[in-house]
């Protein structure tokens, strides 16, 4: 607050509000060196917000946190974005980028290898499919004969149909099963995740490089 030249009374008011917002009231009089990793991350963000910034850069804010603290941090970041703050986030956790990012930039050797929404990036990688599983061998055979493009697994009585996972394709397959009087016992949609995207973009010889995502 002093660095932002806030009057003392205003600084105390803002500090009190931020301590409460980030659940740090009980720890307010303890040395920050005694805080847990999650508490230190919350304190970092609280200190950043004293100046009411419109843009915040977060460098791997959840590294080393336990799952509960990580989800708490995700909630804080979502709250910042909903308040109109632009957040640029770097992370090694692709699940985190998928959960939080409006747009993602994958970096490889210091250069942007691809940029887009999570769904746009996932469409870069082939391999999406719809899996139909049957318990009736007769129904399985009828479906296999009709769906020539499907990959068969005769032992598991399942068919894998190439698909981008769109609602249109899913509806088309369901309509076809219904019109043919064939009932699948299980239908699952499999789409590439951001791990697949990263490996495809960076190549097998450089999979140890750290992906960094850009959230705003």
In angstroms, rounded to a whole number, what is the distance separating the alpha carbons of residues 124 and 140? 31
- pLDDT bin (cut points 50, 70, 90) of residue 78 is very high
Average pLDDT on 142-165 reads 89
**CATH topology assigned to domain 8-121:** Rossmann fold (3.40.50)
| pLDDT-above-90 percentage for the chain | 51
Per domain, the residue ranges of the chain are: 8-121, 129-190
- Residue 91: phi and psi, rounded to 5, are -155, 150
- pLDDT bin (cut points 50, 70, 90) of residue 214 is very low
* First-to-last C-alpha distance (Å) of the chain: 26
Average pLDDT on 182-200 reads 88
State pLDDT tens for residues 29-75: 899 999 998 899 899 999 999 988 999 999 999 988 889 889 999 99
Average pLDDT on 140-150 reads 89
Give the pLDDT confidence score for residue 206 in this predicted structure.
Answer: 46
Average pLDDT on 113-135 reads 88
- pLDDT bin (cut points 50, 70, 90) of residue 203 is low
| pLDDT-above-70 percentage for the chain | 94
Give the pLDDT confidence score for residue 216 in this predicted structure.
Answer: 40
In angstroms, rounded to a whole number, what is the distance separating the alpha carbons of residues 143 and 150? 9
């Amino acid at each position: 607050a002093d660095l932002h030249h806030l009057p003392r009374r205003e600084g105390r008011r803002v500090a009190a509000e931020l301590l409460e917002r980030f659940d740090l009231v009980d720890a307010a009089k303890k040395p920050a060196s005694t805080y847990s990793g999650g508490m230190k991350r919350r304190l970092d963000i609280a200190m950043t917000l004293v100046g009411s910034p419109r843009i915040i850069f977060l460098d791997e804010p959840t590294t080393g946190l336990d799952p509960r603290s990580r989800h708490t941090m995700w909630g804080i970041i979502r709250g910042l974005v909903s308040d109109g703050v632009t957040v640029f986030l770097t992370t090694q956790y692709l699940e985190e980028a998928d959960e939080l990012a409006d747009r993602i930039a994958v970096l490889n050797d210091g250069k942007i290898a691809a940029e887009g929404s999570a769904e746009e990036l996932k469409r870069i990688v082939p391999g999406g499919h719809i899996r139909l599983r049957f318990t009736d061998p007769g129904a399985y055979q009828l479906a296999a004969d009709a769906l020539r493009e499907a990959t068969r697994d005769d032992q598991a009585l399942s068919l894998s149909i190439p698909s981008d996972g769109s609602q249109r394709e899913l509806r088309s397959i369901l309509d076809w099963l219904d019109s043919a009087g064939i009932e699948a016992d299980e239908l699952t949609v499999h789409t590439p995740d951001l791990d697949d995207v990263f490996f495809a973009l960076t190549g097998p010889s450089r999979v140890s490089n750290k992906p960094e995502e850009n959230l705003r």
